Amino acid sequence: MTTARQVAVDVLNLARTQKRYASELVDEQAARLSPQDRRLAVQLVMGVVRRRATLDALLKPFVRTPTHAVQERVWDVLHLGTFQMALLSHIPKHAAVHESVDLATYVGSPQAKGFVNGVLRRVSELVTDEFVDYPYSDTLPFENNYRKLAKPVLPDPERDEAAYLAAAFSWPRWLADRWLPRYEWHKCLRLGFWFNQPPPLWLRVNKLKTDRETYRLRLSAATIAAEVGDHPQSLKLLDHVPVRDLPGYAEGDFAIQDVSAMAVATALNPSPGMRVLDLCAAPGGKTTHLAELMHNRGTIVACDVEQKRLDTVTSLCQRLGVTIVETKLLGENSDPPAGPFHAALLDVPCSNTGVLGRRPEVRWRIKPTEFEHLIRLQTRLLLQAIEQVRPGGVIVYSTCSIEPDENTGVVNAVRRAIPGLTLEADHAAIPGQPGDGGYWARLRKPQ
Ligand SMILES: C[S@@+](CC[C@H](N)C(=O)[O-])C[C@H]1O[C@@H](n2cnc3c(N)ncnc32)[C@H](O)[C@@H]1O
């Protein structure tokens, strides 16, 4: 019988060899497990991917062999074992060590059993069950406080704040160097904790099918707790239930969308009957929200450069009962469909720094050198969207980034280029307050 740990160690390997997202792979591979084991497999994979740098820092003092001399799959086993002991609370340490030794055989390295056993025993002695409320070289961020370590193995934050953030919270060093001058120390710590927790699941109740209170009562009848958020369609799930098992999934009673993302289509405030351009539409979260706000009357032209992702827009529309969306595949450098449109939504590709908790791989994939290219693309797309909107029309620009140069930087540059373009409103969402980090700006084209 396959275990959660075997699935987890296989997913980490597949993600590396197939260059795929571990978060997608684990959904596929864990489907054959019991619900409880599936949860553990997801927790292990997402945790190890997210906290890679922290796990390396904890292991470093005990691995005398050079890193390259340890097989990658054996490193995965060490990461999984260390994660269970240091960053989970419900697995006894001896069980984590024992299961990891068995995993060494499972990954085809029985000769590494003694090595895995020796290293993980040292890690188990390092991790204590005492918790404190301050960051230090012997305290490890754990949920909302710090787990005391038997000796200091992390950088001293009083000497090098960025080094502590990088090792203790698993931020790439360049990101720590980028954020430290921008945010105060206690805000960096808050961001660190937020980005290391699995984010809450928000539902956008589909106005075309039901209303928030009716749907909340339906959840409550199924003993699923949810609380309302500030956005009038938002519900935050308080219980862990697979999305497809929620009542009304097949009937399209709700879409999955973070509460910060719900504010974007609302900022556009489209009216029924309008012709709206959604230039970066896939997978369709905001397209379908626009359709709901338009009472499913009018037209939305939903564009993207990836057919597979556009197919997701189509299936989401079908599930939610949205019938006013026309999808259009664009080439990377092709012009958008000809206007005039009454309004345009532009939810651009970005660095994703506002959603690092939701997408565990992103922090390791994004490189500082990519910002220049992204900002050029974002600026070009915004100019194109404005071009297709009729005089006096509204354009909403949005990102899930918290980098000012991708947000106000792009908007201000475009405002300088187009005299009379008005910034009517904008908002920067702070990660964890209460949803994802991100930004939107509502612009009006001159008459
Ligand atoms: C942030 S995502 C959009 C998310 C979507 N609005 C939603 O709410 O579900 C950005 C999208 O832009 C697409 N994209 C990338 N380059 C593009 C381009 N040059 N023109 C149009 N779309 C592009 C990507 O394929 C991606 O699907």
* Alpha carbon of 302 to ligand 1 centroid (Å): 10
Query: Which of 234, 256, 278 represents a domain boundary (last residue)?
Result: 256
**Token pair recorded at residue 309:** 């992702």
Asked if residue 318 and residue 422 are part of one domain, the reply reads yes
Instruction: Report which of 21, 22, 19, 43 is spatially closest to residue 33, judged by C-alpha positions.
Output: 43
Tell whether 26 is covered by a domain.
Answer: no
278, 304, 332, 384: residue to mutate for ligand 1 pocket, most atoms within 8 A of CB: 304
Helices (H) and strands (E) in the chain — how many of each? Answer: 17, 14
Tell whether 416 is covered by a domain.
Answer: yes
Tell me whether the omega of the peptide bond preceding residue 340 falls within 30 degrees of 0, making it cis: yes
> What is the per-residue pLDDT for 117?
98
The per-residue pLDDT string of the chain (447 residues; one tens digit each, 9 = 90 and over) reads 899 999 999 999 999 999 999 988 998 899 889 989 999 999 999 999 999 999 999 999 999 887 778 899 999 999 999 999 999 999 999 999 999 999 999 999 999 999 999 999 999 999 999 999 999 999 999 999 999 999 999 999 999 999 999 999 999 999 999 999 999 999 999 999 999 998 899 999 999 999 999 999 999 999 999 999 999 999 999 988 889 999 999 999 999 999 999 999 999 999 999 999 999 999 999 999 999 999 999 999 999 999 999 999 999 999 999 999 999 999 988 888 998 999 999 999 999 999 999 999 999 999 999 999 999 999 999 999 999 999 999 999 999 999 999 999 999 999 999 999 999 999 999 999 999 999 999 999 999
Which residue has its alpha carbon closest to ligand 1 atom 1? 349
Asked if residue 421 and residue 311 are part of one domain, the reply reads yes
> What is the per-residue pLDDT for 31?
87
* Alpha carbon of 396 to ligand 1 centroid (Å): 14
Tell whether 67 is covered by a domain.
Answer: yes
Ligand 1: which atom is nearest the Cα of residue 377? 19
Tell whether 3 is covered by a domain.
Answer: no
Asked if residue 172 and residue 131 are part of one domain, the reply reads yes
Residue 320's H or E segment, with its range, is helix 307-320
* Alpha carbon of 93 to ligand 1 centroid (Å): 44
Tell whether 38 is covered by a domain.
Answer: no
For residue 303, say whether it is annotated as part of any ligand binding site: no
Q: Are 228 and 216 in contact (CB under 8 A)?
A: yes
Ligand 1: which atom is nearest the Cα of residue 282? 27
List the CATH number of the domain containing 352: 3.40.50.150
List the CATH number of the domain containing 250: 3.30.70.1170
Asked if residue 182 and residue 210 are part of one domain, the reply reads no
Asked if residue 354 and residue 216 are part of one domain, the reply reads no
Cα–Cα distance, 142 to 386 (Å, whole number): 46
Strand order in the sheet with 202-205: 226-228, 234-237, 202-205, 254-256
For residue 255, say whether it is annotated as part of any ligand binding site: no
Asked if residue 387 and residue 352 are part of one domain, the reply reads yes
Using CB distances shorter than 6 Å, the residues near ligand 1 are 279-286, 303-306, 309, 330, 332, 347, 349
317 has catalytic annotation: no
Which residue has its alpha carbon closest to ligand 1 atom 10? 349
Strand order in the sheet with 145-149: 127-132, 145-149, 139-142
264, 280, 396: residue to mutate for ligand 1 pocket, most atoms within 8 A of CB: 280
* Alpha carbon of 29 to ligand 1 centroid (Å): 27
List the CATH number of the domain containing 180: 1.10.940
Ligand 1: which atom is nearest the Cα of residue 332? 19
- What residues contact residue 229 under an 8 Å CB cut-off, 6+ apart? 202, 235, 236, 259, 434, 435
3-state class (DSSP) for residue 21: coil
Residue 402's H or E segment, with its range, is none
For residue 286, say whether it is annotated as part of any ligand binding site: yes
- Give the residue numbers spanning the domain of 175: 51-195
Asked if residue 221 and residue 178 are part of one domain, the reply reads no
Tell whether 36 is covered by a domain.
Answer: no
Ligand 1: which atom is nearest the Cα of residue 399? 1
Asked if residue 285 and residue 224 are part of one domain, the reply reads no
Which residue has its alpha carbon closest to ligand 1 atom 2? 349
* Alpha carbon of 350 to ligand 1 centroid (Å): 9
Asked if residue 402 and residue 275 are part of one domain, the reply reads yes
Asked if residue 265 and residue 406 are part of one domain, the reply reads yes
Tell whether 11 is covered by a domain.
Answer: no
For residue 337, say whether it is annotated as part of any ligand binding site: no
Query: Which of 223, 238, 256 represents a domain boundary (last residue)?
Result: 256
Instruction: Report which of 346, 332, 357, 194 is spatially closest to residue 267, judged by C-alpha positions.
Output: 346
DSSP state of 360: T
Could you tell me where the DSSP H helices lie in 51-149?
Answer: 52-59, 72-87, 93-106, 113-126
Tell whether 424 is covered by a domain.
Answer: yes
Ligand 1: which atom is nearest the Cα of residue 283? 9
Q: For tokens 């970005």, what's the residue?
A: 350
DSSP state of 138: T
| Number of compact structural domains in the chain | 3
* Alpha carbon of 110 to ligand 1 centroid (Å): 46
For residue 304, say whether it is annotated as part of any ligand binding site: yes
For residue 56, say whether it is annotated as part of any ligand binding site: no
Asked if residue 297 and residue 428 are part of one domain, the reply reads yes
Q: Are 383 and 428 in contact (CB under 8 A)?
A: no
Q: Are 267 and 247 in contact (CB under 8 A)?
A: no
Instruction: Report which of 146, 53, 40, 85 is spatially closest to residue 360, judged by C-alpha positions.
Output: 53
Asked if residue 332 and residue 270 are part of one domain, the reply reads yes
Query: Which of 171, 195, 219 represents a domain boundary (last residue)?
Result: 195
The yes/no answer to whether this complex scores an ipTM above 0.90 is yes
Provide the residue type at 179 as one letter.
Answer: W
